[in-house]
């Protein structure tokens, strides 16, 4: 083999080796965002592929358990396991999905009252609500909004006295929080992080402003609630609506109205998720609270704060 031929052969081999190495490098750079994921029924989340611009074909090995869209959006359907595969050229990337049921009604939850307070903390109502709960030895749940420096002590007290703290939102302004998924997530995470920094508690409990059934969000983003309920479950949050309303932010005019609204709608055949508010000036609920608690105890109800075993009491989504 003469010198020129040798040079040509060496050159061609170098090109081939470079192409092979480049192919291997490209294959190694293609990654899937998750290889394992546990979801609750109804949850949704996005799988992403990085390192390629090629067409991606998504499939689920068990569509009854979870489906996947052409863009990698996974929806958990029923309890079980499935494997989501992303095919990129000849390469296949996989994510193992385990779907679990959310806690449901049981003997442990029937006849239980979950007192919940939205829109606090407030300097003139929340401390008095906490005083009553402490006196009556009742635990409750507080879905709070962003709070001032002076009200940090109330957030700490809620946690210290054994109540559950949850996120209602950094803001309650519908036009801001429901304009997009990004805006809503920022609203939740901003407050979750603030609570954790103050108390050490990274709460996963939340309540949508207006409830998951709200229709006001239609004015700002059509269909956003349908997206958010699955999105938040997919991110590990639990959201709670209610099946008993005190009416203290609506039709109830007096503390007697609040008392009647709550006590007339309690049931021993289910858990009772009671919606109340501890916003500034809400003396209606404050003045009815002791009477509600005494009625419930007398009639055999038990009180609990929301915890890991609490079922999701949720409304039908209307947007």
- Indicate whether 11 pLDDT > 80: no
Q: 38 and 141 share a domain?
A: no
pLDDT value, residue 274 = 98
Q: 117 and 266 share a domain?
A: yes
The reported pTM is 0.89
- Indicate whether 115 pLDDT > 90: yes
Tell me which residue range forms the domain holding 77.
31-100
In a domain, 16, yes or no: no
- Indicate whether 8 pLDDT > 80: no
Q: 77 and 188 share a domain?
A: no
In a domain, 4, yes or no: no
Q: 171 and 274 share a domain?
A: yes
Q: How is residue 141 written in tokens?
A: 């749940």
**Phi, psi values for residue 86, rounded to 5°:** -110, 115
In a domain, 7, yes or no: no
Q: What is the pLDDT of residues 227-259, one digit of tens each?
A: 999 999 999 999 999 999 999 999 999 999 999
Q: Domain holding 186: CATH number?
A: 3.20.20.370
State the total domains in the chain: 2
Q: Domain holding 64: CATH number?
A: 2.60.40.1080
pLDDT value, residue 23 = 45
């Amino acid at each position: 083999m003469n010198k020129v031929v040798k040079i040509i052969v060496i050159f061609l081999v170098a090109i081939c080796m470079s192409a092979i190495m480049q192919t291997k490098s490209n294959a190694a750079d293609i990654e899937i965002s998750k290889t394992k994921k546990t979801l609750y029924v109804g949850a949704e989340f996005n799988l992403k592929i990085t390192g390629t611009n090629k067409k991606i074909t998504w499939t689920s090995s068990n569509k009854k358990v979870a489906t996947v869209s052409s863009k990698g959006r996974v929806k958990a359907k029923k309890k079980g396991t499935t494997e989501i595969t992303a095919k990129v050229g000849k390469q296949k990337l996989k994510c193992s999905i385990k779907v679990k049921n959310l806690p449901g009604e049981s003997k442990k939850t029937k006849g239980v009252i979950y007192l919940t307070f939205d829109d606090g903390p407030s300097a003139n109502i929340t401390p008095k609500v906490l005083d009553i709960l402490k006196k009556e030895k009742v635990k409750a749940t507080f879905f709070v909004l962003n709070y001032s420096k002076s009200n940090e002590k109330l957030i700490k007290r809620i946690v210290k006295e054994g109540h559950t703290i949850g996120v209602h939102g950094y803001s309650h302004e519908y036009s801001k929080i429901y304009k997009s998924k990004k805006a809503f997530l920022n609203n939740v995470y901003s407050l979750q992080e603030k609570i954790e920094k103050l108390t050490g508690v990274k709460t996963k409990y939340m309540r949508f402003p207006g409830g998951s059934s709200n229709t006001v969000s239609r004015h700002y983003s059509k269909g956003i609630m349908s997206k958010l309920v699955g999105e938040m479950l997919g991110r590990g949050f639990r959201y709670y609506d209610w099946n008993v309303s005190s009416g203290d932010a609506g039709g109830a005019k007096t503390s007697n109205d609040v008392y009647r609204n709550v006590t007339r709608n309690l049931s021993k055949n289910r858990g009772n998720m009671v919606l109340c508010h501890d916003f500034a000036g809400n003396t209606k609920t404050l003045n009815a609270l002791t009477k509600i608690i005494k009625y419930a105890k007398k009639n055999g109800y038990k009180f609990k704060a929301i915890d890991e075993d609490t079922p999701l009491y949720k409304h039908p989504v209307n947007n």
